Amino acid sequence: MHRDSFLSPGTKEAHVRQALIDPFFEALGWDVRNTAKVAPQYREVVTEDSLEVEGQQRAPDYAFRIGTLTKFYVEAKKCGVNINADPAPAFQLRRYGWSGKTALSILTDFEELAVYDCTLRPRPTDKASAARILYLRQDEYAGRWREVWDIFSREAVWSSAFDKFSASKRKRGTSEVDVEFLREIEGWRDSLARNIALRNHNISSEDLNAAVQRTIDRVVFLRMAEDRGLEPYGRLLKLCEQPGMYSRFMDDLCRRADEKYNSGIFHFQKEPGVSEPPDNVTSRIAVDDKVFRPILQSLYFAHGSPYHFGVLPVEILGTVYERFLGRVIRLTAGHQAKVEEKPEVRKAGGVYYTPAFIVDYVVRNTVGAQIAGKSPAQLAGAKGNAPFRVLDMACGSGSFLLGAYQCLLDHCLKWHMEHKPESSPKAVHRDPRTGQWRLTIEEKKRILTTHIFGVDIDLQAVEVSKLSLLLKALEGEDDASLSMQMMLFHERALPNLAGNIQCGNSLIGPAYFTGDLLPDDGEIRRVNPFDWETAFPDAMKAGGFDCVIGNPPYIRIQTMKEWAPLEVEVYKELYRAAGRGNYDIYVVFIERGLQLLNPSGRLGFICPHKFFNAKYGEPVRALISEGGHLSHVVHFGDQQVFDGATTYTCLLFLEKGAKEYCHYVEVQSLPAWRKLFANGENGDNGALWGIEGTVDAETILPSDWNFHVGHGNTIFEKLSRMPEKLGDVANIFVGTQTSADDVFVLDDCRLVGRRVSGVSRITGKTVLVESGAVVPFLRGRDIRRYSTPQTAMRLICPYVISPDTLQLIGKDEMMKRFPRTWRHLEEHRRMLEMREGGRFKGAAWYAFGYPKSMHLFQQNKIIVPDYNNISSFTYDSSGHFYKTGYGIISLVDHFDHHYLLGLLNSKLLFWYLRRIGTYLRGGYIRFWTQFLEKLPVRRIDVNSSGDKASHDRMVTLVTSMLTLHQRLAAADSEAQRTVVKRQIAATDAEIDRLVYSLYGLTDREIALVEGESGK
């Protein structure tokens, strides 16, 4: 067809798309026209009709996806639009891309093609060239096709080349939509809270929080409804034209929304079958126009809004709300509103939203596995069976419930499409615009209310979960489709979720107050006990839930004691998992989750893997192992799942029924693992992302969980079976704990005659103390592999130390022998006395907090720092003290310190330690006693000449290593250092070969250890 025909005024955009743009992207490998005939939810290219609602386009023309994740949008225009210079189309596309959280997106009329960086916030004043990173004319396509292919072809997107390119083009200072929208609604909360508190003198703190939250929820819901065609565009903005905005918002919009949606978001009067009390607060409060107007205006393009709520995913809204819920409004004595972090959030360092790929994996392996092959009728409880039910017992903003709901929606639609959809008019209908089969709003409501359940202790979180689920139910609907189906089914558009998503403490029931005739109202509100039998009677009568999923809170109990001491004690009484040490509350959630499963139920959590090896984890390990509940583990090691937080996690899958084995996955590259499962592969290229295998249930015990699969399992088992462990032949002791290092430790010390000059940490001033009152003090970083420790730090040590005893020096003797030191301590007496809540008041006010094992420090010993990413053991014959690290003293004569040092610094034992220890970010591991004591040590047979020769050779090599490291420290030229480094490398390699021989490794096993050690 001739070019001029496309430029004629009568040519429609749809014609340009079909004739030019569709073939363009088909040439890039995309199935634009769905020739594979896949279900709508699985299409890799989602196309939209060019539909405008009151002058506003509802969605971009094309969304290109991997699975269900949109990677980039394409906005098509009629030929002749000035793509190069007109800012309006560019701003439209960038709003789509930024709100949909895509890195790049494309604007084209085929004559021109522009690629935009959509991580930059779009602004109405931006020129067309702003954020544009590529511009091509039609006559350049052929010559630059490879460039386009390498970014936007299906192959490039699936191979991550698209991601690498977009990352390389990203500019500093980008601000993504969730961060900006969080800042937006936090500003709304601040201004609404202050104004409502000012204008409504009798409002309580509880009602104030509820009123602010509900107002924000309603504004967000109605604005999203506008951009999705469910409500007339601009109704919220129209409120700004006259005074009394808030009252008209409530009377004109919210009450009408209650009649239309029945969602619980707009619940103003008592209704049959709804247990939740109606909202009688927000309709009675006053909000000034000067506060409400900017909130409403900030959501519209005409006032500079960068958001397009038609493409803003509900899941992204959840990430915003999850962090938003980390703060609470408090009323001061003067009735002023103050927003502050919740104590549990402050202690945890913030709120971190579960990434979508984790939610997808957990849902796929719990909900997806349980519903596979079942019809919607079977899931609904056909033939007298209980319905399928999913629970998140700490649902937060609802991310896991959203994932479960989407999984059920997809499953039910797919089943109906494969089983004569025409026969189920109540469940599915054809979209009149696209001709595709879709679930009716009635069916989406039924799925939601039948299958999805959640609990959270935070009422605001409960409301946000409801909001997210209801917005998900409305996806793909418009005002016309809702009106038609409301006429057919004679019901309002949405369900009230008061019976599905409830507020309460998942771990504590009403029995908490048994015997307490008059419990304090404040305590009841704070603890918020939850009666499962009353709240979910049908589920509990059926034996529990089919799936329990989620991301339980991670809070150490010693932290929780600060604001919830009574609950901590109750947990110890109610839960076996809380029976040992300073446990973390997530282990209690694991136990409670198991209890809430029905006999064939599955649990899927993301939680720290620390309980695998921690002493506090022994009770929950016992609980799981005794019942054979462990079915699947994805262990992330030191790979970081949560953005902005260093947390060492795993995916834990349990089944109520006993399992014969556990499917164990160890992820060594998180990006590779994500790609693998996004592509739907089954782990054939395991070496790229990690390893997987099975672990027999018989080997899953209450003792430490150190699961090993793959080629290294044979070596691990061989070493584990060795009878002698380091803990059997050596005394391992921890560093000095003064509980007041700022007083007792002096920095930058030097000897001045018979005194020591050093800088006080607490005052920053130089002090002079007696040399006999201090000992050399090491930090962890001062302890290096085979190196002689050096330090300018000194520790004030008010003790008499002998090989067998430790005694605090009395006041009179301290004043006589060390008067300067005593004056320094006296200056800070008040601080020392008040340590640990005043525990040190009395004559021993200057004692160390935990002086255990100090009598061992002055002996010859092996020392190691608290953590490192290489073996870092060395020999100390100078009596150094240290804080973060461990000392090892041999107790058995034939285990010479130098012989042990060679074993401990070998590649083999570090390889083993990595498999039994605790991971830290960046490949670091903890050198803790509980791990060190398990290291297998090769006993020397004193009657064997071969063993004796190996022992003596090891001692010689280690002595040489210690000497070589002294030479390296003293070398004064790069040439000398190079020579010494080569000698060290050669000696190190010889020590490793000797260790392999002592431990009986085969050539193949040696190659495996060497290969993994080189990573």
What integer pLDDT is reported at residue 51 of this predicted model? 45
Output DSSP code: residue 63.
Answer: E
What CA–CA distance (Å, rounded) separates 564 from 562?
Answer: 6
Mean pLDDT, range 484-491, rounded to an integer: 57
CB burial of 709-722 (b: ≥16 within 10 Å; e: otherwise) equals bbebeebbeebeee
**Could you read off the pLDDT of 968-982 as tens digits, one per residue?**
999 999 999 999 999
Whether residue 517 is predicted with pLDDT greater than 70 in this model: the reply is no
DSSP letter, residue 6:
H
Dihedral, CA of residue 856, residue 860, residue 865 and residue 868, to nearest 10: -150
Residue 562 phi/psi, 5-degree rounding, is -65, -30
pLDDT tens for 76-99 read: 998 888 999 999 999 999 999 999
Give dist(CA 548, CA 81) in Å, integer.
53
Q: Tokens 């360092």 label which residue? A: 349
Q: Give the whole-angstrom CA distance, residue 561 versus residue 554.
A: 14
Which helix (DSSP H) or strand (DSSP E) does residue 111 occupy?
A: none
Q: Taking the mean position of all CA atoms in its chain, how far away is CA 800? A: 49
Buried b / exposed e over 585-620, threshold 16 CB at 10 Å, is bbbbbbbbbbebbbeebbbbbbbbbbbbbbebbbbb
Q: How far apart are CA 933 and CA 927, in angstroms?
A: 10
Q: In this predicted structure, what is the pLDDT of residue 671? A: 85
Q: Which residues are 630's β-sheet partners?
A: 654
What mean pLDDT is predicted for residues 908-915?
A: 93
pLDDT at 488: 57
Report whether pLDDT(54) > 90.
no
| Three-state secondary structure of 74-123 | EEECCCCCCCCCCHHHHHHHHHHHHHCCCCEEEEECCCEEEEEECCCCCC
At 325 the pLDDT is 82
User: How far apart, in whole angstroms, are the C-alpha atoms of residue 754 and residue 765?
Assistant: 20
Q: How far apart are CA 144 and CA 152, in angstroms?
A: 13
DSSP letter, residue 388: P
In degrees to the nearest 10, what's the CA dihedral of 911, 913, 916, 917?
-120
pLDDT band at 392 (very low <50, low <70, confident <90, very high): very high
Radius of gyration of the chain from Cα atoms?
A: 33
pLDDT tens across 175-191, in order?
788 888 989 999 999 99
Backbone torsions φ then ψ of 651, nearest 5 degrees: -100, 120
For the ranges 109-123, 323-337, 408-422, the lowest mean pLDDT is seen at 323-337
Question: pLDDT grade, residue 916 (50/70/90)?
Answer: confident
Residue 515 — very low, low, confident or very high, per pLDDT cuts 50/70/90?
Answer: low
Residue 283 tokens, joined: 């309709």
Position 431 pLDDT exceeds 60: yes
Residue type, 922: G
Chain-centre distance for alpha carbon 845: 43
As a whole number, the mean pLDDT across the chain is 88
What is the pLDDT at residue 49? 56
Evaluate whether 225 touches 253 at the Cβ level (below 8 Å): no
Which residues face 47 on adjacent strands? 62
